[in-house]
Amino acid sequence: MHDIQDYRAGGRSLPWPPSARRFADLVGDLVPSLPPGSSPTAGEVVDTHGTTVIAVKYNEGVLNLGDRRATANMAVMFDRAEKVITLDDYTLMAISGSFARGMEIARYLQHAFKYYRRTEMQEMSLEGKISEVSRAIAGNLPMALQGIGAFLPITSAYDPKTNEGRIFFYDGMGARFETAEFGAAGSGSERIRGAFDYIIRTRKPFRAMTLAEALRECLILLDIAADLDAATGGFTKVLPIARAITREGIVDIGIDVMRQAVAEVAEGGRRRAEGEA
């Protein structure tokens, strides 16, 4: 597939109908190439992105955590974005990348799961749910190839057949992979990927941690990502959003619990600093 820039630069002919070519030319006028550090002006369309999201197993299920920052180029567009979305009573999706497409697909999946439950009089299987997510990502590929609308989610679910939480991540074409301990997506995830393995090897597996322990470790990882990645908001200004999945369903991590966990992380850092001094 040729992209919009090839068409506007006079490259090879695109196999599109004339109306699509006129639309592509219009979009190309609306979405010019912006140099690093520049800001969009009136009339320009800029894709808002959300990063960073983390999912880890713990002894009762799966914990999902995401910072609240949404960016467009070098600008912070919003600092209250919710990136951990409830799809149904036993499924969560943490989104990174295009916030608009991520939310649109999340709403589609919510409707699809509910429609199946009402028409078939039973829950969609876990295999069906994660396959539906793959299909949605694959259907978004044309937009992603044009440089807009790309997003990569992490899907978490509690599996009653195996009596455990499960975590799935995807590539840009919809291929899915299951991880045994953790998953992360977004620009900040690249900076902390090795830290997950370090925690497992030096402390203990995430699946053996309590919810409180897993939450503290995720907050530390998010704080490291925020130090190394400008698009990640961390937790110093706005508390992250956190949800967990257990055998009983979705659990929202309340503000008081988050504040207590943040205080414990800060206290641990202070003690380490005093010990080094």
Which one, of 98, 141, 102, 132, lies nearest residue 114 by Cα?
A: 132
Bridge partner residues of 95 (DSSP)? 153
Alpha helices in the chain (DSSP H): 4-8, 18-30, 99-120, 126-139, 141-145, 189-202, 211-228, 255-276
Tokens of 154: 């992490």
Look up residue 207 and give its DSSP letter: G
Q: Give the Cβ contact number of residue 97 at 10 Å.
A: 24
Render 164-196 in DSSP notation, one character per residue: EEEEEEE-TT--EEEESSEEEESTTHHHHHHHH
Look up residue 60 and give its DSSP letter: T
What span, in angstroms and rounded, lies between the C-alpha atoms of 191 and 64?
18
| Phi, psi dihedrals of residue 75, rounded to the nearest 5° | -100, 145
Residue 51 known to be catalytic = yes
Cβ contact 113:122 at 8 Å: no
Set 51, 91, 155, 232: catalytic member: 51
Give the residue numbers annotated as catalytic, written as ranges. 51
